[in-house]
Amino acid sequence: MAGAIGVKKTGWAWVVGTWFGAGLLKPGPGTYGSVAAVLLWYGAARIFEPGWATLAAGTALAALAATLVGIPAATIVAREAGREDPGFVVIDEVAGQWIALIAVRPDWRHAVFALLLFRLFDIWKPWPIRKLEALPGGMGIMLDDVAAGVLALVCGLVLARWV
């Protein structure tokens, strides 16, 4: 894939990094990436109707895969775009959102709740999440959102006792 001004784009990295173009939508590409992740999770849960443990394990594996593929993809896209943390890279939101969904019941209310919690922590980036942004390349791009997903998961589990 060739980009503007002769900049070579690594196709697979841009597809993964922008999560099939969701990161190119405006405004708020991170929210589009998170919503795309929730819709894919919700659709899979509805179509395949797995048991709770299978859904949780599948979601955790998907989050791990997104993280492991997302780190090199984000590194490549950031380098090719000439930016430290391009907003259109949303594979980090996908991974973090799936982490937030690991223990969620497959209904739309709980999915929206997980979405809101993840976006809150992803945008706010409380300590120590913000410190992870300082890691180099794709590690910094990905791991702050992974941490936001873990925090959303833990808060979701605690709050689920009362909701």
Tell me the pLDDT tens digit for each residue of 47-79.
999 999 999 999 999 999 999 999 999 999 999
Radius of gyration of the chain (CA): 16
Give the bridge partners for 2, in sequence order: 8
Q: Record the pTM.
A: 0.93
Q: CB of 110 within 8 A of CB of 59?
A: no
Residue 71 DSSP code: H
Give me the pLDDT at residue 8, please: 85
Q: Over the chain, what is the mean pLDDT? A: 94
Q: CB of 124 within 8 A of CB of 52?
A: no
Give the bridge partners for 8, in sequence order: 2
Give me the pLDDT at residue 5, please: 52
Q: CB of 129 within 8 A of CB of 106?
A: no
Burial group, residue 136, by CB count within 10 angstroms (0-12, 13-18, 19+): exposed
Q: CB of 94 within 8 A of CB of 118?
A: no
For residue 3, name the pLDDT band (cuts at 50, 70, 90). Answer: very low
Q: CB of 59 within 8 A of CB of 23?
A: no
User: Is the predicted pLDDT of residue 39 greater than 70, yes or no?
Assistant: yes
One-letter identity of residue 73: A
